[in-house]
Amino acid sequence: MHKTLIAVLVGAALLFALSVSGGWAGQIAGKIQTVNHSERHFVLADGTQVWVAEGFPIETLKEGASVEGSYEERDGKKIAINLKVSE
């Protein structure tokens, strides 16, 4: 019973830490439908909207290119934290 209680407390602490740090990471993949370079934002063919963090060269994103990567949810927006772009 003691080990079970410790496991539950550790799990609860981990969930709390993740919720405070900004949320869960997710995966994205698809073809770019539109790119808005000035707002550092692109839309995938399935309608998923993704914003690109500072430091990533947004100029490398082109309509029709394929992307895959991961994002973090911040203030209700998907912010790409890792992107791989291919033509």
| Pairwise CA distance, residues 23 & 49, whole Å | 17
Tokens of 72: 């973090």
pLDDT of residue 22: 54
Predicted confidence (pLDDT) per residue in 33-62, tens digit: 999 999 999 999 999 999 998 888 999 999
pTM: 0.70
Cα angle: 18, vertex 77, 58; to 5 degrees: 115
Is the pLDDT at 83 greater than 60? The verdict is yes
- The CATH architecture of the domain made up of 25-86 is Beta Barrel (2.40)
